[in-house]
Copies of this chain bind each other. A is one copy, B any other.
Amino acid sequence: MAVNKKQVFDPQDQALSIFGKALAHPARLAILKVLAERGGCICGELVDALPLAQSTVSQHLKELREASLVLVNLEGPRSCYCINWPAVEKAVDGMKEFFKQLEEQKNPNACKG
């Protein structure tokens, strides 16, 4: 039981779901905002900007990294994070495309919900 069946679905849907998951916590959205505003910043600045412990921020950054939405650059003992703009744009385009296709197929035989 509790087998993860995600991989049996359409790879494109899997990719979009990874993007969705990255956006599924407001802390990660807040991180993206700070990174955009400042054009990237070090982990410590993010910790100061968020109401979360350093280890928790680091974990959210890891998730954003795994979804390819941010990049990290080591500067001595510091980690400078910035937004991976090409990847973000690609993901947003994928999302838009998904919903565009959804609307194009929009069948008028909707139930009377």
Contact = CB atoms under 8 A, between A and B. Distances in A.
Nearest to A106: B36
A25 to B, nearest CB: 6
A33 interface: yes
Nearest to A23: B20
Contact of A113 (B19, B36, B81): B81
Interface residues of A, number: 60
B16 A81 contact: no
Contacts of A106: 36, 39, 83, 85
A29 B98 contact: yes
A36 B108 CA distance: 9
A61 interface: no
A92 B56 CA distance: 28
Contacts of A29: 9-10, 13, 16-17, 98
A-B pairs, top 10 by smallest CB distance, nearest first, are: A39-B107, A71-B113, A20-B23, A9-B26, A80-B111, A39-B109, A21-B24, A40-B111, A13-B26, A20-B24
